[in-house]
Every structure is written in C-alpha cells, then in structure tokens.
C-alpha cells in the first residue's frame, strides 16, 4: 500500500512553505516520525517528520520549491500493507455473522431453525424484512437500470485513478496531464506546456526533470533573453517566504501605526576606549551593551515595552523584557529574540546574539527563537550610514535604530570660555527611535533616548545600572 505524505496545516495562518532540504532519497527505508524534509514558512524553518514507515516510493517536490497545504510531498510504500489487506475480508466475514458456531452451541437446534422457512419459525421483525426485501428479478433490474453497466463504471473509475487508487486528475479538463506539484510550478515559471512533454515518471507522470530538460532547451533557444517591459529587458525572481512575511509586516506597520522618529547621538568615547582595552577574544560588540542599556531604561518607561490595543483602547504593558535583534540574511530580515534580557549579563547576551545569528545564516531558526519580542533593536552600523528611520515591528510600540559610530571633531569648551575653543576627537554613535504616536508622545521619546545616551556615555553608570 502506498501512503501520500501531504503538507499539513501548521496553523498560525501559514498556507505555504519553501522546501529547504530533502533528507531522504527515493528507495530509502524510513521510520515513522523520522525527519525527512526541512521547510521554511514565513514564521521559521522547521523539519517535517514522516507520518508513515516504509520505503520512499516517490518524492514529488524539489529543493527550492514552494508547497501549499494539502500538496503531496512524497509517497511512502508500506510493505506490510498487503498482509493487513488479506486479513480484512476475514474480519468482514465475522462481522456478517459467517463465523463458526461456538463449541457449546446446540447444533441440532440451529439446523432446525435454518431449515424451517415457514412464518411460524421467524420473528415478526424477520418476517417484515423478508417481505420488504427485493426479489432476485428486481435486483437484476436495478443493476441494469443505470446508463452504464458495472463493467463500464469500473472502466470509467480506472480512467481517473492509478494502480494505487490515487486520483490522477488526468481525465478532467482542468488537469489533463499528471505532474508533480514541483513540475507544475516550474512549468508555469518557464512557460512550458506539460501536454507537450513526454513523461518519464511512474504511471505516465511528468517529473521535475522532464520540465527542466524542456525548459533548458527553450532557454537555449531564447539565448538568454529575459522578459521585457515597455522600456527594456527585465528579470522576475520569486521572493523567499521570509521576505514575503517581512513585506506584509512592514506594510501593516506603515499603514496602521502612526510613526514618529526621534534622532540623537551618543558620545561613546569612554565606552569605546574600555572595549579596546579588552583582549580581542573577549571584546564585546556594541549591540549587547546597547541591549543592556535599553532594558534598564525600558523598566522606567514601560510604554516603550508595550502593545497598543486599538480595539479596546488600552495599552498592554509587558512585564518581561525580550529584546528582538534585527538580523540580515541572504533570504531576508529576521528578528530572533533575546529572552529575559534583564536577567542576563552583556557577555551572555553577546554570546546568544552570535549563536542566533549563526542559526539565522544556517536557516535553523525555530518558532521559539522568533517569538515573544517586546522591543526591537536594529543596528546597521556594520553596513554603514549615518542614521535611519526604522519601521516598528508590530505589535510593538517602538524600535531603536543604531547607525555607524564615527570619530568626529567635537567642540568641548563652552561659548564663554577664555581662549580659543577646545576641539577633541570623539566617538559618536547615531541613534534613531521610532515610536507609535498612539501610545507614546514626543517628550516621552526624548526622555527615553536621553537616558540611553547617558548610560552609553558613562560605562561606570551603565555597569551600576545593569
């Protein structure tokens, strides 16, 4: 018996996933619960266990494909199924009463009852059932009364199903050719007609390789020419599930949240000198230090660690401090979360940031890694730029953007000081706080940033505060 392993609904509004890795091959023996595929939704990357044990008879998707809920990912053959099927008729017989009489049954009495067809030998209920039952002639008439004979009906059904009883869809107008979902997707992208291909798969199914070969031939004929718009050549690329999720979240953020951005700069000269005195292998980056400063200030300004509930006209103040760190990957932006950041040292947070960044790069982030953030920090300093106006990560009420720290010439003397002005090189860190104006006012934002600036300016105060 062959079992179809379909993509089940993982919940949370997820309708499709991208196939990251296929961990088995056709012909492999697998066990129930064995992880066979790694997929990525707009929430996280997850590994799918097989609900069946047996031999992998067919894999219907390929790496990089997009599969929707209900799509068949692979077919698993259960070699023990025939034995189970043979046992089933015996069970049906027993259910119909065609079983041996118990040893202590009165066999003589049973025989007499079977041989007595008279009404006196039956109960009233049995008599009614016998009177209502159709005769053999009526049964024959019923069988021949349809538009097709039983044999024709079986032939028609065979046209719609393959040897394993799967619905091929091959007889319908909508799906005239049997093909795996991955093959159909690639055919649409390359403009290949499935009906024009010679199928090489089992039971006449068009495989992914069939479409790839045909697409390769057409690509060669096109000599690399791309699609065109009204002004010149263009190229279309499908975005990753993560980037699609980011697009939806940022659209929601921009359209639903009234943003205001407050900008400032922190003089981190003393902090930078302290960092440089540390051994290279123990030197912390700025991000975990900023995270500790943010947590300290969030405790005094809880509206920045909240959710605005417009339906209830309420502000939900969170009593936990989980800091989401925006992380750039090849597949898009993700925001893994530092859970309970108030209970961890800056060094612990630094190690956790490195570990989460590696998981993000290797596409190993799980749902728990991305859930529960109460405030977000996005540090673009490594990529350059003097500042930014970040978009809030819904349903949070604020996000802190950090630019690249630079050495700048700063006047440190007062205007009324005697002599020429004193100019010193100082390390300046740009900061930009975007906040939800429904929950937070501009004065609150100014005070919030001022306190962060004060902690970053003085490492001793920062150490005492955190």
With H, G, I as helix, E, B as strand and everything else as coil, classify residue 229: coil
E strand or H helix that includes residue 307? strand 306-309
Catalytic choice (15, 99, 259, 437): 437
Tokens, residue 126: 């049995």
- CA separation for the pair 380, 401 (Å, rounded): 8
Strands 35-40 and 66-68: unpaired
Contact assessment for residue 262 and residue 446, using Cβ atoms and an 8 Å cutoff: yes
Q: What are phi and psi of 18, to 5 degrees?
A: -105, 135
With H, G, I as helix, E, B as strand and everything else as coil, classify residue 306: strand
* Residues in contact with 362: Cβ distance below 8 Å, sequence separation at least 6, in sequence order: none
437 is catalytic: yes
Contact assessment for residue 439 and residue 397, using Cβ atoms and an 8 Å cutoff: yes
Q: Within 13 Å of residue 273, how many CA atoms lie on the same side as its CB?
A: 10
CB atoms within 10 A of CB 84: 10
Tokens, residue 253: 């953020």
**Residue 57: which of 93, 19, 21, 30 has the closest Cα?**
30
Q: Give the residues across from 356 on adjacent strands.
A: none
Contact assessment for residue 379 and residue 321, using Cβ atoms and an 8 Å cutoff: no
* Residues in contact with 237: Cβ distance below 8 Å, sequence separation at least 6, in sequence order: none
User: CA angle, 37 as apex, 33 and 43 as ends, to 5°?
Assistant: 105
Residues labelled as active-site residues: 437
């Amino acid at each position: 018996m062959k079992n179809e392993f379909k993509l089940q609904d993982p919940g949370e509004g997820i309708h499709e996933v991208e196939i990251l890795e296929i961990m088995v091959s056709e012909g492999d023996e697998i066990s129930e619960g064995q992880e066979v595929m790694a997929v990525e939704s707009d929430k996280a990357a997850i590994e799918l266990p097989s609900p069946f044990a047996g031999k992998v008879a067919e894999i219907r998707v390929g790496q990089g494909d997009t599969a929707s809920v209900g799509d068949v990912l692979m077919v698993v053959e259960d070699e023990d199924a025939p034995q189970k099927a043979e046992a089933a008729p015996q069970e049906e017989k027993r259910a119909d009463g065609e079983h041996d009489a118990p040893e202590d049954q009165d066999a003589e009495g049973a025989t007499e009852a079977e041989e007595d067809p008279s009404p006196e030998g039956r109960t009233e209920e049995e008599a009614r059932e016998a009177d209502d039952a159709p005769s053999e002639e009526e049964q024959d008439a019923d069988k021949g009364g349809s538009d097709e004979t039983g044999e024709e009906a079986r032939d028609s059904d065979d046209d719609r199903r393959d040897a394993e009883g799967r619905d091929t869809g091959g007889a319908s107008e909508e799906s005239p050719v049997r093909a795996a979902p991955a093959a159909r997707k690639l055919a649409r992208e390359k403009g290949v007609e499935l009906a024009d291909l010679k199928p090489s798969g089992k039971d006449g199914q068009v495989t992914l390789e069939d479409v790839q070969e045909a697409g390769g031939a057409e690509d060669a004929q096109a000599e690399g020419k791309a699609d065109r718009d009204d002004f010149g050549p263009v190229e279309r690329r499908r975005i990753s599930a993560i980037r699609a999720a980011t697009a939806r979240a940022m659209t929601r953020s921009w359209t639903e949240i009234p943003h205001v951005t407050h900008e400032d700069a922190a003089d981190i000269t003393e902090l930078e000198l302290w960092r440089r005195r540390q051994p290279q292998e123990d030197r912390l980056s700025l991000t975990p230090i900023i995270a500790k400063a943010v947590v300290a200030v969030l405790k005094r300004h809880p509206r920045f660690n909240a959710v605005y509930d417009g339906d209830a006209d309420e502000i939900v103040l969170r009593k936990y401090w989980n800091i989401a760190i925006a992380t750039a990957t090849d597949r898009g932006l993700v925001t893994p979360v530092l859970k309970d950041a108030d209970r961890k040292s800056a060094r612990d947070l630094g190690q956790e940031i490195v570990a989460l960044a590696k998981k993000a790069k290797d596409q190993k982030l799980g749902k728990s890694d991305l859930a529960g953030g109460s405030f977000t920090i996005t540090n673009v300093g490594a990529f350059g730029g003097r500042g930014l106006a970040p978009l809030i990560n819904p349903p949070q009420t604020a996000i802190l953007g950090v630019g690249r720290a630079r050495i700048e010439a700063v006047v440190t003397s007062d205007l009324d000081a005697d002599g020429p002005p004193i100019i010193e090189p100082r390390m300046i860190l740009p900061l930009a706080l975007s906040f939800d104006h429904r929950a937070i006012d501009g004065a609150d934002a100014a005070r919030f940033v001022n306190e962060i600036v004060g902690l970053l300016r003085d490492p001793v105060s920062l150490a005492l505060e955190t």
